[in-house]
Structure 1
Amino acid sequence: MKTKLLCLCLAVCLAFSCDNNDDYEIIQVATPLLMTKADFRNSVEIAAPQTIQEVGKIYAYKDLIFIGDVEGIHVIDNANPETPAIVKFIKIPGNEDISVKDDFLYADSATDLLIFDISDINTEVKLVERLEDVFSVYDYQMPIEADEADYSKFNYEDDIIVGWTVTAERRKKRDDMMVDFAFDAAAIESTTGTGGSLARFQIKNNYLYTVGSYEMTIFNISNLSNPVLENTHYAGWNIETMFEADDYLYLGSTNGMFIYSLNNPASPEYVSEFIHWEGCDPVVVDGDYAYLTLRGGNFCGQLESVLEVIDVSDKANPTLALRYTLENPYGLGIKGNTLFVCDGTAGLKLFNKENPLDLSMIKDYDDIQSKDVIPLQNSLLMIGGNTLYQYEYLENDIKPISTYKLN
């Protein structure tokens, strides 16, 4: 009897042990931090200058420079480039990008598009319009370190995701993989601002083009203070950036470059795509050539980091022309025959691109950190680390105008 009881206990223990080892696993579960849409929309605020928490994208308009942050947009008065100064903070929760035309600033706020009148930036900035629920994809996707997301308390109609917590949990193994939830659903400086190569917004004539991770949304802005949602359609996959040149949109994704024609500006038409290995991918275009950087060694994919030159003379058949190895590339920009490449912690590199098929490096500023550039008519703006740099153009070189610490 004792022997039978011992065997039974042993069998139960073995079964429990097998269940622990084979049927369960420890995974990282992301839980969204939620805010009601009503509270979220009421949190927009025009405030006095504030300390920058996390330096984001850069945008230039007239004598103003806009710096993105986790809570909104910092406005810098750059009337005197030697002594720029932050003059205003526009709190926009869930903001990813902006564009400006004729003193009207367009900014996304998670699912909404906001329009601000900035004609009197020093005295009063006014929120003049909000288009609600025009974006079904916004920048609060599941954190990359998480294996699964718990959306059990999320109500798409009423809630906005404003952050995440990630915890380790013991979960029973599943045969099917859980898919990350997605919310389905070069300018004239006098009137239109200029973004860097990391931009997701582009203004072309009477249209504002915006792109999310896989969706393009087009607004008619003929009436600047009262834009109209014109069109929304699938744009590609893992889209990160958008650049306009010669009536074409070039979308940079982690998997390639997508080309869209603006022959019908209200509904851009897919033309072709150039596929490359997986990597973070901003793109700029000049004439018959597109220049894009692929940054490896992170969640974007491959380990190798390169600058690629793509022949886009035949828009229906873009082809790889050249590839250069870099260290840690981010944004890039073009002024005349100079290609500026932000190589992250490896500094700023200047290439002579007079012959795009034979790029030659003319300067390597390897003692600074660079993330993105905006080549304006009379000066170069660059952001890197926590610093805004401004440079004067020289022949085959640049000369510092000012260095402004952002935090």
Structure 2
Amino acid sequence: MRTINVLMPCIAFLLLESCCFYGDCEDDFDDDNTSFSIYDPVYLSRTDLEQSIDLVEPLQITNSGKIYVKDNLLFVNETRKGFHVFDNSNPENPIKIAFIKVPGSTDLAIRESMLYINQATDLIAARYNFNQNQLSVTKRVENAFPELLSPDGFYAYDVPANSIVVDWELKN
């Protein structure tokens, strides 16, 4: 019994000593090195984001993502930049048709001639006319998706008002 009476105050003292009562406790890790991304966010204003979708001349593929096939069309995602469009009538020799510029995009779904594209935080519906090589945005659902994370898993901080993160660049 005497051992318990001596042991209990010792345990209580050790537990209390582990708490910080004097204000000069040090954390076991350094916040500056562990809580910030090694990437800088790339922003677009809401207005620029909504006006950034465009059908342009074909571009070289540099950072491909997902691939989609619909009828005789082949779509190749250029990660967070847009989609390369190919005429895939002859799968052994696809022909570049156009590039659909959609900053912040990573995914696409297609139903009939309607393209459903994630553009950063928004979901857009666009009609693509293969024969006339025309694209028209028919609907936008704002903030349908969460904000884009950096490649190392962090959210942007101090995002300017009315701006959207559309990409991340490695810090110099």
TM-score by length of 2: 0.70
1:107-137 CA-to-partner distances (Å, cap 9, x unmatched) read 111222222222x314232223132314131
1:97 aligns with 2:107: yes
Q: What amino acid is aligned across from residue 121 of structure 1 in structure 2? A: F
Unaligned runs of 5+ in 1: 1-17, 168-407
Higher relative contact order (Cα pairs below 8 Å, separated by 6+ residues): 2
1:126 aligns with 2:132: no
Q: Could you tell me how far apart the structure 2 residues matched to 1:44 and 1:53 are?
A: 19
1:108 aligns with 2:118: yes
Whether contact under 8 Å (1:110, 1:135) holds in the other structure is no
Q: What amino acid is aligned across from residue 161 of structure 1 in structure 2? A: V
Aligned to 1:373: none
Q: Could you tell me how far apart the structure 2 residues matched to 1:22 and 1:103 are?
A: 56
1:180-238 CA-to-partner distances (Å, cap 9, x unmatched) read xxxxxxxxxxxxxxxxxxxxxxxxxxxxxxxxxxxxxxxxxxxxxxxxxxxxxxxxxxx
Aligned to 1:27: 33
Corresponding residue SS for 1:79: coil
Which of 157, 160, 163 is equivalent to 1:159?
163
Unaligned runs of 5+ in 2: 1-23
Aligned to 1:117: 127
Equivalenced residue count is: 145
How far off is 1:164 after superposition? 3.3
Corresponding residue SS for 1:96: strand
Aligned to 1:45: 54
Whether contact under 8 Å (2:127, 2:138) holds in the other structure is no
Residues 96, 25 of structure 1: CA spacing in aligned structure 2 closer, same or farther, 3 A cutoff?
closer
Whether contact under 8 Å (1:34, 1:162) holds in the other structure is yes
How far off is 1:69 after superposition? 0.6
Which of 119, 144, 148 is equivalent to 1:135?
144
Whether contact under 8 Å (2:105, 2:117) holds in the other structure is yes
1:65 aligns with 2:74: yes
How far off is 1:34 after superposition? 2.0
Cα RMSD, aligned residues only = 3.0
Alignment of 1:5-404 (within 5 A): 24=30, 26-27=32-33, 29-30=36-37, 31-70=40-79, 71-118=81-128, 120-138=129-147, 140-144=148-152, 151=157, 153-155=158-160, 158-164=162-168
Q: What amino acid is aligned across from residue 114 of structure 1 in structure 2? A: I
Which structure is higher in strand share?
A: 1
Residues 99, 150 of structure 1: CA spacing in aligned structure 2 closer, same or farther, 3 A cutoff?
closer
Whether contact under 8 Å (1:33, 1:162) holds in the other structure is yes
Q: Could you tell me how far apart the structure 1 residues matched to 2:156 and 2:87 are?
A: 43
Corresponding residue SS for 1:87: strand
Q: What amino acid is aligned across from residue 33 of structure 2 in structure 1? A: I
Choose 125-134 or 54-63, whichever is displaced more: 125-134
Q: What amino acid is aligned across from residue 150 of structure 2 in structure 1? A: M
| Moved beyond 6 Å, runs of 4+ | 18-23
Q: What amino acid is aligned across from residue 142 of structure 1 in structure 2? A: S
Whether contact under 8 Å (2:149, 2:155) holds in the other structure is no
How far off is 1:25 after superposition? 5.7
TM-score by length of 1: 0.32
Q: Could you tell me how far apart the structure 2 residues matched to 1:117 and 1:22 are?
A: 55
Q: Could you tell me how far apart the structure 2 residues matched to 1:102 and 1:150 are?
A: 36
